[in-house]
């Protein structure tokens, strides 16, 4: 049986070799992972809402020193697992969600509010006047030190008198029939003019004229339906179609100035 260890060793050697070749071959051929987006580089000191190739909303932040970050466009506070997007408030120099007050600095570090983490950033490579976006990285912990003043010293953007920018999804096709959207099954993120409602124990995305035209909002928790859903909180969402349902349902701002301060938001869960 002296030959057995030799045979095992030989097999291990072959397996390691195959694995190494598999990993190295794309590098030898000059292949790289497909980037998630190729976005225009803002001017130093500018932060801009933008979208990855599949429509994922992101923030492109060019800091005063010229460094650039591409940050997730989604608030990390997701009660009931309904996504929310953020606006940039010029007054506070922060990304804010007006619903319960999550705020982040230009690097994605949490400043305050119920956000459980900072904003995940994407891997980036600058190529000329563009930034090439790679894979998302881990989110910073909520207590990672943020830059700039403390939350209480920043003020907040509360309404149209304050200078804010956000993702408008302009030029996107707006689906007003959730059923038609799911049947068409477009790739990536889509924009829906619709409302959320509790139906048969789960949350549905319904047409604005009623739930006769509706699709299940997968992964949305119906537990606090009376507090989290309804016409009070807008009628524009983005989502992705998957297996006959909508996933990643995320409330987005109105296309115009938006008046989320007109009504009291629900208490923080």
Residues making contact with ligand FES (CB under 6 A): 75, 77, 79, 84, 97, 99-102, 113-114
User: What are 32's two structure tokens?
Assistant: 């790289």
DSSP-based three-state secondary structure for 255: coil
Residue with tokens 């940050």: 71
Helices and strands per DSSP (H, E), number in the chain? 3, 18
- Smallest gap from Cβ 75 to ligand FES, in A, equals 4
Residue nearer to ligand FES on the CB measure, 62 or 251: 251
Buried b (16+ CB within 10 A) or exposed e, 243-265: eebbebbbbbbeeeebebeeeee
| CB of residue 191 to ligand FES, shortest distance in Å | 19
Question: How many other CB atoms sit within 10 Å of the CB of residue 98?
Answer: 20
Closer to ligand FES by Cβ: residue 148 or 266: 266
* 3 state DSSP class of 15: helix
81 or 255, CB closer to ligand FES?
81
Of 75 and 105, nearer to ligand FES (C-beta) is 75
Nearer of residues 35 and 112 to ligand FES, judged by Cβ? 112
Query: What is the closest distance, in whole angstroms, from the C-beta atom of residue 239 to ligand FES in the complex?
Result: 16
Is residue 193 helix, strand or coil? strand
Nearer to ligand FES, 82 or 241 (CB): 82
> Shortest gap between Cβ of 72 and ligand FES (angstroms)?
13
DSSP tag of 61: E
From the CB of 115, what's the least distance to ligand FES, in Å?
Answer: 7
C-beta of 104: minimal distance to ligand FES in Å? 11
Residue 117 in tokens: 């983490």
CB 88 within 8 A of CB 222: no
Strands of the 130-136 sheet, one edge to the other: 37-40, 130-136, 122-127
In whole angstroms, the minimum distance from the beta carbon of 219 to ligand FES comes to 15
Distances (CA, A) of 205 to 109, 137, 217, 231: 32, 30, 6, 12
* Beta strand pairing call for 110-112 and 122-127: unpaired
The Cα 38–Cα 161 span in angstroms is 33
Question: Residue 74 or residue 107: which is nearer to ligand FES going by CB?
Answer: 74
């Amino acid at each position: 049986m002296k030959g057995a260890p030799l045979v095992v060793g030989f097999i291990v050697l072959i397996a390691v070799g195959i694995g190494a070749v598999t990993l190295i071959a794309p590098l030898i051929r000059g292949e790289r992972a497909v980037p998630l987006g190729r976005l225009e580089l803002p001017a130093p000191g500018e932060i801009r809402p933008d979208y990855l190739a599949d429509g994922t909303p992101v923030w492109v932040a060019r800091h005063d020193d010229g460094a650039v970050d591409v940050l997730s466009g989604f608030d990390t506070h997701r009660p009931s697992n309904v996504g929310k997007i953020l606006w940039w408030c010029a007054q506070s120099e922060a990304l804010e969600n007006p619903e319960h007050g999550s705020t982040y600095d230009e690097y994605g570090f949490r400043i305050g509010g119920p956000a459980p983490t900072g904003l995940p950033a994407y891997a980036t490579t600058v190529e000329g006047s563009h930034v090439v976006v790679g894979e998302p990285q881990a989110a910073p912990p909520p207590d990672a030190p943020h830059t700039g003043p403390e939350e209480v010293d920043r003020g907040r953007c509360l309404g149209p008198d304050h200078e804010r920018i956000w993702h408008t999804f302009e030029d996107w096709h707006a689906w007003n029939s959730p059923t038609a959207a799911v049947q068409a099954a477009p790739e990536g993120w889509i924009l829906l003019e619709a409302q959320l409602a509790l139906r048969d124990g789960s949350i549905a995305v319904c047409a604005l004229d009623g739930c006769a035209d509706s699709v299940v909002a997968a992964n949305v928790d119906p537990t606090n339906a009376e507090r989290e859903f309804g016409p009070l909180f807008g009628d524009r969402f983005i989502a992705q179609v998957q297996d006959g349902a909508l996933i990643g349902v995320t409330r987005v701002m109105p296309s115009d100035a938006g008046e989320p301060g007109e009504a009291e938001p629900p208490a923080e869960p």
